[in-house]
Chains A and B, each alone.
Chain A
Amino acid sequence: MTRYSRYWTAFLTIFTKELLRFTRIWLQTILPPAITTTLYYIIFGNLIGSRIGEMDGFSYIDFIVPGLILMAVITNSYSNVVSSFFSSKYQHHVEELIISPVPNWIILAGYVAGGVSRGVLVGVTVTAVSLFFTDIQVQSYGWTLMVFVLTAILFSLAGFINAVYANSFDDITIVPTFILTPLTYLGGVFYSINMLPEFWQQVSLANPILYMVNAFRYGLLGVSDISMVAALGIVVLFILALTTFSLMLLSRGIGIKT
């Protein structure tokens, strides 16, 4: 058993565990985002959207599709990791991992891979629903998938960090409610930031979700409020920063060891 085959087995074990965890309860994990998005399309797309008119040259429903899909990816990858890792702390079975000769980056990779799988699976489901309600032509499948994966990685990491610091089930809902949801809604999901006054446009540029929504909109529709290189660069930068931070938390044992 070489070191790296040992690591690979450990990674597969964590990843498979995560995969089974959310697919077994698909009624709670995969189905709800599909239903919510359908409701969004009916209400904002058809009922209200028809009165809004065009945005950036697209019908309103087509314009909000990328944001809605990405919102589902974000919340699902985040909540998968935060609830799974927190419950492993809460029930103490995280100790099974800590006493094992698994390096921290494998632990992190295993949990993130689980979150990414759920994010991408939900993203694909919601995209399928979207294609049913709209007549969008996907501009670039490669780009679309890349944004899916990068977004899911970023928010899996964020969910992980939230779980590390959480001491109660309340703590794992506070961040999504008070930070994630506002950032998502203000990240240009439902509007183009060109509509905002100059000042709020500048403020919006500090919101990482804005870059993802726009990068994703570019993949689906071929339009964006901002430069693609900047969008990609910023997302990758955030991923690197959160990865470093997560590994630091793990190596210090914060929230896990006493």
Chain B
Amino acid sequence: MNALAISDLRKVYKNGFEALKGIDINVAEGDFFALLGPNGAGKSTAIGIISSLVNKTSGQVEVFGHDLDKDPEAVKSCIGLVPQEFNFNMWERIGEIVVNQAGFYGIPRKEAWRRAEASLKQLDLWDKRNQMSRTLSGGMKRRLMIARALVHRPKLLILDEPTAGVDIEIRRSMWAFMSELNAQGTTIILTTHYLEEAESLCRNIAIINQGRIVENTRMDQLLRQLHTETFVLNLRDPLADLPGLDGFQLKRLDEQRIEVAINSDQSINHLFEQLTNKGVGITSMRNKQNRLEQLFINMLENSRNGAAQ
């Protein structure tokens, strides 16, 4: 069964803006799914519709086989939502926020406190349970929203940029946490602007741009589509003039760094051979961009050119 099945979903906002122009997305049960796209692409709009915060204009949404129009309560019971913007009461205590959310799902208070303790401890917030939520730092507020979303043990967890503004150490622990949840069977949908995050966590991916899905595939297949990778080479000695190479275009970044694009049918050995022959020593090299990032940018350019024609 699909955890999520969306078909021909459209959203026209009251001001007439068409944020979703008929999208289809399927997320299999147990998947770790990335929903990517530039600012304003329509990610949060789609998530808003799935979680009942936004009224759809047309189309169908099914969550674990429950139709959003016919049985919204069943749909809501399956979903845990971590929204992009903070949406808790700033004058409410952290513990109460989580316990009350459980209460809205029908979990009696005693059990709700047991669960709140578990999820707040997992997210390292239990010690702050009696503090007002406004006293938390930005990263802690994000974690509070995760704890709140988990308290009714949802089968489908939707995270809208959960790691925005979170420091690298905590981001790493959140990645481990999400992977663990997914390994235990929770289906996860993640949006993020950190593409390496999506690349390392997610198995399937949809890219949305200007209200349309421009790509929907397996992550490994997508990465295989990358025809050109750009590398930055650090040179041992300063280089005055760029050597002419056979089949490779070099670009000089500064005295001791050059950039080179390598197609998938070329070999790096061939590049190094030529450089060695010309007496250019290389001390290290790195990918100029994360691979998904490069694909992503190509794709957006293509879809923009397509739209322009």
Contact = CB atoms under 8 A, between A and B. Distances in A.
B267 to A, nearest CB: 52
Nearest to A93: B89
Contacts of B79: 99
B109 to A, nearest CB: 8
Interface in A49-99: 88, 91-93, 95-99
Contacts of B54: 257-258
Contact of B106 (A10, A88, A95): A10
Given A91-B87, A93-B87, A98-B52, A5 B73 contact: no
Interface stretch (A28-36, A100-108, A124-132, A166-174): A100-108
Given A1-B106, A101-B76, A101-B106, A13 B100 contact: yes
A9 B109 CA distance: 8
B105 to A, nearest CB: 5
Contacts of B148: 96
B242 to A, nearest CB: 54
A9 B112 CA distance: 11
A92 B85 contact: yes
Contacts of A93: 87-89, 92
A95 B73 contact: no
Contacts of B216: none
Interface residues of B, number: 33
Interface in B84-110: 85-90, 92, 100-101, 103-109
Interface in B1-45: 13-14
Given A5-B106, A91-B89, A258-B14, A100 B53 contact: no
Interface in B66-93: 72-74, 76-77, 79, 81, 83, 85-90, 92
Contact of A96 (B14, B48, B101, B109): B101
B104 A100 contact: yes
Contacts of A91: 87-90
A258 B54 CA distance: 5
A9 B81 contact: no
Interface string A18-58: 00000000000000000000000000000000000000000
B85 A17 contact: no
Contacts of A96: 87-88, 100-101, 104, 148
A253 interface: yes
Contacts of B186: none
Given A99-B76, A99-B79, A99-B81, A257 B104 contact: no
Contacts of A238: none
B55 interface: yes
A258 B51 CA distance: 13
Interface string A235-258: 000000000000000000100011
Nearest to B72: A101
A101 B13 contact: no
Contacts of B87: 91-93, 95-96
Interface in A107-160: none
B104 A10 contact: yes
A8 to B, nearest CB: 8
A7 B106 contact: yes
A139 to B, nearest CB: 41
Contacts of B85: 92
Contacts of A12: 103
A10 B81 CA distance: 18
B106 A258 contact: no
A88 B100 CA distance: 14
B101 A258 contact: no
B53 A102 contact: no
Contacts of A14: 103-104
A100 B152 CA distance: 10
Given A17-B100, A96-B100, A96-B104, A253 B55 contact: yes
Interface in A204-258: 253, 257-258
B53 A6 contact: no
Given A98-B52, A99-B51, A9 B89 contact: no
B178 to A, nearest CB: 20
Identify which of A13, A88, A95 gathers the most chain B CB atoms within 10 Å of its CB.
A13
Contacts of A258: 13-14, 48, 53-55
Given A88-B89, A101-B77, A103-B73, A95 B53 contact: yes
Most buried by A among B53, B86, B148: B53
Nearest to A7: B106
24 contacts: A5-B106, A7-B106, A10-B104, A13-B100, A13-B109, A14-B103, A17-B100, A92-B86, A92-B87, A93-B89, A95-B53, A96-B87, A96-B88, A96-B100, A96-B101, A97-B104, A99-B76, A101-B73, A101-B77, A101-B105, A102-B104, A253-B55, A258-B14, A258-B54
Interface of B: 13-14, 48, 51-55, 72-74, 76-77, 79, 81, 83, 85-90, 92, 100-101, 103-109, 148
Q: Which 3 A-B pairs have the closest CB atoms?
A: A6-B106, A13-B103, A100-B104
Given A1-B106, A99-B76, A101-B106, 5 more contacts: A9-B109, A13-B103, A13-B109, A96-B100, A99-B51
